[in-house]
A and B are shown apart, each in its own frame.
Chain A
């Protein structure tokens, strides 16, 4: 248990080198080629293995190539591999857009305003698939996948905190990241049911939430909320698994 929770904290992130760059997703390998094509079909089919089959056909590979993915070392299902690739590629996209010197992001100097900008930017990438997010979340909270998905969530929160200019050296480091994770998950859940034009309500939601985090007391509350959210969803998860028998 202790070891698992530690691994969650580590996520996929380790020492960020200045001169030895490494990318989040690799572009090499047949699975990366297929998945890259597959995520373009998500707006149409949702987070379904159909995207992968379709991508394989489009790339004019034999249908049996799907074996390259089903027999992957991670042991993840096709759907979860698609979700994982989607999340990682969007995180890569966010990273790439931030380091671009022409990005308007660099005009903002306040840490929390930057956090707002980054969160909204990430949610913007979700717009085309917003109505399929429920399917992705169902994959992410499946017990077998939880460790990976939490790692990915924390990696996103860490990216946002880092680019926003976080300089905390102690426990605040953890508080901030958990706060950002909470906001992001909340915003995504909000987005799924948002019927306002251009998801205006979701972005207002993010603004409000970051303002709350600004206050350290509110930041503390978010950790509590995050824990509670996870406890409740865990209970619900157990319940649902029990009813399934």
Chain B
């Protein structure tokens, strides 16, 4: 036991000697993406990212299928809506594929209720489109409002709760202070890309919201009832998809 302590004592003192030398060198050293190493995320942080990927994948799958349902009913009835719907649907397919890729790469469990989300989303798309094109647009308004808000909430957590991830010098393994680092190195590109991805997708969703309002969404007959019910369903689905 004593021997061990002694060795440890030596080790730490020699390390602190190194540190003072390195600090001088580090002051002049410029840090960029390649000469730093990032520490591991905490359990809570990983659990949060796990939920984010799963719920966003399920959400984009839902959006994809809602537009699929709407397109099936409306495309032949209203040819002038065809390009509008097609454009929105294409964007949702792109979002869906992106999150599918992220899910397999980052080893996130897909939602267990995937078959239900598919059937439910297609059902909502078809049934609102059958009521009329205004109702379909009101459905888009409701869904995109909830999704936009949800993305914003995720961004808020990503901005606020991921600042304590340690950054180390790749060669010396010394922990670096945030002040010494340029802004774009302080967070890993992995997290930065996730943030820019989510904000990009949020902007796309809000653009769909504007498009839907331009196409008479507010003229749908029980507008408030329709949108509020769909919003409630979406929130319930988000709550479930995060967990199951």
Contact = CB atoms under 8 A, between A and B. Distances in A.
Interface of A: 6, 9-10, 13-22, 60-62, 158, 162, 166-171, 173-174
Contacts of A170: 110, 114-115
B106 A16 contact: yes
A6 B114 contact: no
Interface of B: 1, 38-41, 43, 46-47, 49-50, 53, 57, 100, 103-110, 112, 114-115, 165, 188-191, 243-244
A18 B190 contact: yes
Q: Which secondary structure dominates chain A's binding surface? A: loop
Contacts of A18: 105-106, 190
Contact of A22 (B41, B53, B57): B41
Contacts, number: 73
Given A6-B244, A15-B49, A17-B41, A166 B104 contact: yes
B84 to A, nearest CB: 28
Nearest to A167: B104
Given A14-B50, A15-B50, A16-B107, 17 more contacts: A14-B46, A15-B46, A15-B47, A16-B106, A17-B106, A19-B38, A19-B189, A20-B38, A20-B40, A20-B190, A60-B1, A167-B104, A169-B57, A169-B103, A169-B104, A170-B114, A173-B110
A122 B35 CA distance: 35
Nearest to A159: B107
B145 to A, nearest CB: 26
Best-buried of A13, A170, A171 by chain B (most CB within 10 Å): A170
Name the residue among A19, A22, A62 with the largest chain B CB count within 10 angstroms: A19
Contact of A19 (B43, B53, B188): B188
* 4 A-B pairs with least C-beta separation: A22-B40, A16-B107, A19-B188, A15-B49
26 contacts: A6-B244, A9-B109, A9-B112, A14-B49, A15-B41, A15-B53, A15-B108, A16-B106, A16-B107, A17-B41, A17-B49, A17-B106, A17-B190, A19-B191, A20-B40, A20-B41, A20-B188, A22-B40, A22-B41, A22-B46, A162-B107, A168-B104, A169-B100, A169-B103, A170-B114, A171-B112
Contacts of A158: 107
Nearest to A12: B43
B1 A61 contact: yes
Contacts of A162: 107
Tell me the interface secondary structure of chain B in the complex.
helix
A94 B49 CA distance: 25
B58 to A, nearest CB: 10
A17 B57 CA distance: 17
Contact of B40 (A9, A17, A166): A17
Given A6-B243, A13-B107, A169-B110, A19 B190 contact: yes
Contacts of B107: 13, 15-16, 158, 162
Contacts of B190: 17-20
A62 B53 CA distance: 48
Contact of B112 (A13, A168, A174): A174
A167 B49 CA distance: 19
B34 to A, nearest CB: 12
A36 to B, nearest CB: 16
Nearest to B107: A16
B49 to A, nearest CB: 4
Contacts of A61: 1
A235 B170 CA distance: 54
Contacts of A20: 38-41, 165, 188, 190
Contacts of B109: 9-10, 173
Contacts of A166: 104
Contacts of A10: 109
